[in-house]
Chain A
Amino acid sequence: MHISPLLLSFAVGAEAPAVDFRKEVLPILKGRCIECHQDPATNSGKRPKGGLRLDGKHWILEGTRSGPVVVPGDPNLSTLYELIALDKDDPDLMPPNSDGLSKAEVETIRTWIAEGADFGDWIGAPAPGETSPDTPKLTPKPTGKLPRIVQLYIELGEGLTPCTPNQLAAAAGEHGMLKPVFPGSPLLAANFPSNQGRTGTDHVRGLAGCAGHIVTLDLGRTRIADEALAVVAEMSRLVKLDLRQTNITDAALIHLFGLNDLRSLNLFSTKVTDASIEVIAKLKKLETVYLWKTQITPAGIGRLRELRPKLRIVHTPDLPAPERGGPTEDESGRRRRR
């Protein structure tokens, strides 16, 4: 039986609610069709089967090279309907290698086409060169907030006259590197990169000329002696001091007493002992102290915790225990893995 498309659409149109594409058709496409008929970019680069994409309005209406697959108003001229309505044993039945869609699903698609294939507000994957309203907005929420440490540097640098190039060159000496913490800031970050092994107390003393401008000082792995920290005592704006892997002792920390802006103190792998606990506790603004591989005892850590409950005390790290299945030796002495 062949029903005139005009007659059919008229007949159905007169009746109540039409098929809702989003609610009724799209779930079928998503569940049974789109896996093989979608954008290669979302499918491991695989081309859509039969050159047909069903993941967007534009693509469904475009059909394949051999022509449209949906003729609005005429299911019987629509290949999409034809191929899902074939007999179960027909080799061309879609989806392939299955019993096909359920009768109700086939009927939904037939009715939807017969009613004129209305997509509602659905667009799906956009046509080439267009963007889909279904794609979430690409701009994340802007927040004007600056990182906390940067805000601190802005405050500390206010009203300070920058060091002159001559002062900077003299302070840096042959091994040092002094750089503004950000462009335009009079505050300086100081370190001795690539020459730690050749950097000693004298090099650090050179920093005196710019002492009031230095906010971060990295002396990690240098060969400084305790006396080197005498110059650090003049760094009234110092926020971060890194002394890791040096030979400094408790005698060095005496020099830190007046550093009222110090937030972070790194003593990892130094010779400081429990004698320094009271000194560390008196650094008012200190937020983090690193004490792993020092001679400070658990009792010392406990004491510091008591004195400064909010201070972040980093000592023994929570490192993973050795693997159980690690290499073992069997009787023949050969290494093998469990």
Chain B
Amino acid sequence: MTLREHLHRADEPSRRTFVTGLAAGLFGVGTAPLASPLSGALSQDGAIPLQHATAKRVIYLYMSGGMSQLDTFSPKPGAATQGPTESLQSNADDVRVSEHFPLMARHMDKVCVVESVNSNQGAHAQGQYYMHTSYELRGTIRHPSLGAWLNYMAGPVNKTLPGHVAINGGVYNASGGFLESKYMPLPIGSAEDGLQNSARAEGVSERIFDRRMERLREMNGAFRDRYNTKEVRAYGDMYEQALSLMDSQDLDAFDISKEPESIQAAYGSDPFGKGCLLARRLIEHDVRFVEVVKNGWDTHAENFDQMGELCPPVDRALSALLADLDARGLLEDTMVVLATEFGRTPRINTQRDGRDHYPKAFTCLLAGGGIQGGIKYGKTDAEGHEVIEDIVTVEDFNATIAYGLGLPTEYEMYSPSGRPFRVAHKGIPVKAMFT
């Protein structure tokens, strides 16, 4: 496979996965094959006892392709591996950021930099899947991602909006897995366009529309009663969910043009900035889990030139998001996560002036929702090759998010085929990251 194909695969949801996600998220119908409908094994929303929660909602910013840790949030000034990227002192004593994050340098007091993340997956698809689900990619099962677990275990808060939304792709990784299809994320292809086709068709009056839906319920009712299985319910639920969404007072949440221009300008005009703004609007309306994807981090070649393009929109959008959430009082119980499938080699690939995949020691961020800001957790050596203190595996990282959300990490849930799974697999929450 050529590099170009690799990049393409890593960054774009395929047409098929997009369509699958759309059908599932918008219409509540999964196309993934399910084992026998042992629906009894799945409990109802929110029936699982939660633990102490410090966060209610998550904005999950996903840097797709593998974000370079040395050129972003874990610079190693003076090290041979640092290359030409300079670094800046942030407003938190122990935290330096790269020169590409001058705005974030003023907000690191809100952020916990996790410098010792460790994965065992060095390829994009596998790494992304692992980061999202805490399980390795397998041919026989699809695991739910964190957003699906949260809505499944804790239940939705807003009853008329979907509890799980994925912006700018990410449909492939943010997934309901083997859970009922209503836990699939609602995919939003472009934050600017918001939610499409959510109004009654022109020329169909409310009266006619209601009458049609009434007929539909009549016709479906008997069948549904006779074959009351998960799949059959899913088709019924799809209409009911779509109806409650069409009727929702909160539909405006999807429209970022309702924001004052100064706010829109602060987040930036690129898809990631707009996605972050939409994410803020959605969590304000109690959507539980919103993922926003930023593509293009697979910098095998011209790493240092590419950083100048990739980082500024993230610097801007993340600063705006943290400042805006904080000023609205929402950062107290909203956790903002910045994650990626792996980091990039400290060693510079001199032939192409790039950095290659490096799952051994990389950096992710956590902020808000009870997380202690202004700190660094974990340590790598002077050149960034190895974790030398407080390793945080991908599973531990996800367990930490789950812990903040009050999700029991020990709880075993059985898939339709009867296999036990946990929200962050074997991960152990890092309580030291909380205030």
Contact = CB atoms under 8 A, between A and B. Distances in A.
Interface string A303-321: 0000000000011111111
Interface in B351-373: 356-360, 370
Given A45-B122, A320-B103, A314 B327 contact: yes
Contact of A140 (B323, B359, B396): B396
B89 to A, nearest CB: 17
Given A183-B50, A292-B327, A323 B316 contact: yes
A268 B392 contact: no
A263 B434 CA distance: 17
Contact of A319 (B6, B269, B324): B324
Contacts of B430: 140
A41 B122 contact: yes
A317 B324 contact: yes
A174 to B, nearest CB: 12
Contacts, number: 154
A145 B54 CA distance: 14
Interface residues of B, number: 65
Nearest to A322: B265
Interface of A is mostly: loop
A300 interface: no
B51 A326 contact: no
Given A43-B356, A44-B123, A140-B430, A326 B269 contact: yes
A244 to B, nearest CB: 6
A40 B121 CA distance: 9
B390 interface: yes
Contacts of A290: 327-329
A145 B432 contact: yes
B310 interface: no
Interface string A179-217: 001110000000101111110000000000000000000
B100 to A, nearest CB: 14
Contacts of B378: 140
Interface string B366-390: 0000100000001000000011101
Interface stretch (B74-82, B156-164, B165-173): B156-164
A38 to B, nearest CB: 10
B286 interface: yes
Interface residues of A, number: 55
Interface in B100-121: 103, 106-107, 118, 120-121
Nearest to B377: A140
A44 B357 contact: yes
A299 interface: no
A319 B329 contact: no
A264 B406 CA distance: 21
A182 B51 CA distance: 6
A319 B52 contact: no
Interface string A141-180: 1111111111001000000000000000000000001000
Interface of B: 6, 49-54, 103, 106-107, 118, 120-123, 126, 157-161, 248-250, 262-263, 265-266, 268-269, 285-286, 300, 316, 319-320, 323-324, 326-329, 332, 356-360, 370, 378, 386-388, 390-393, 396, 406, 428, 430-432, 434-435
